[in-house]
Amino acid sequence: MAPRRSPRVLAVPAATPLIRRAAFRRAVEVIPGRVRIKTTASQRRRTTTTARRRRAIQSAANQPPAEDPPVTNRRGINSRGTNRRRTNRLPVQDTAPIVTLLQNPDRQRGTGSQAEFGTKLGLRRLRIELARMTSNPTDGCTVELVDDCIYDWKAVILGPLGTPYEGGHFKLRLHFPQLYPARPPFLMFLTEVYHCNIRNGAICVDILYSAWSPALTVEKILLSIRSLLSDPNPENPMNGAAAELYKTDRAEYDYMARQWTRRFAQPE
């Protein structure tokens, strides 16, 4: 008798992970009392948005950091507008560009290519302001160009009536930077003035520094400086001796201001 052969067992290949996952889901669905949770479209969008944000953060972390703009600490002024001594002293405008310009005048600047010294917007703005102040002069203020250069102006302010500066003709020099009107002009007195907020031509006024706005014009700047002659600010002095005299002896202060006006600010 021939030996009985055992039935041949065929090897069944293992199911793939996807097939096993589908089979598991079908088995779970047939369980009684099982509640199937469906994902809504809003939940899918929220999940996609979160994933996109996570990828964006990871991508930004791999990018090199952007360079911060240089921080200039002028005379120890901090971000709160006060100096290191915690006083509310306003910073003084740097007049070095004008001093350099007066010492080394360039006669060809007015005839060269204006694109090298400013943008088209700045040129248009300066020409409009010059035309307005020439055709309709501001009360107590006059302006003119220096060597026909639109970026260099001379101005004359008349001393306000009823003040120690009455009768004086105070000359100023204005130099407009390349980024005007986004940046304020450099301005200094060419005439000697005895004043709390003026010394050696430099002016301590906020509109030329921290309070500058592109909406300000040359006309408004000159009117503000003329108003400063009438109403000094001894609490934020540029000339400490004059400010102390203003507080202690106003009559003597007015006498000194009147003498300086007669000596240095007489019309030619």
Q: Of 141, 149, 196, 204, which one is the catalytic site residue?
A: 204
Supply the DSSP symbol for 155.
Answer: E
Residue 160: beta bridge partners?
A: none
> How far apart, in whole angstroms, are the C-alpha atoms of residue 86 and residue 256?
31
Residue 195: beta bridge partners?
A: 198
Residue 145: beta bridge partners?
A: 153
Active site residue 141: no
- On whether the CB atoms of residues 163 and 172 are closer than 8 A, the answer is no
**End-to-end Cα distance, the chain:** 147
Residue 172: beta bridge partners?
A: 155, 189
Best CA proximity match to 187, nearest among 213, 209, 165: 209
* CB neighbourhood size of 209 (10 A): 17
Residues noted as catalytic: 204
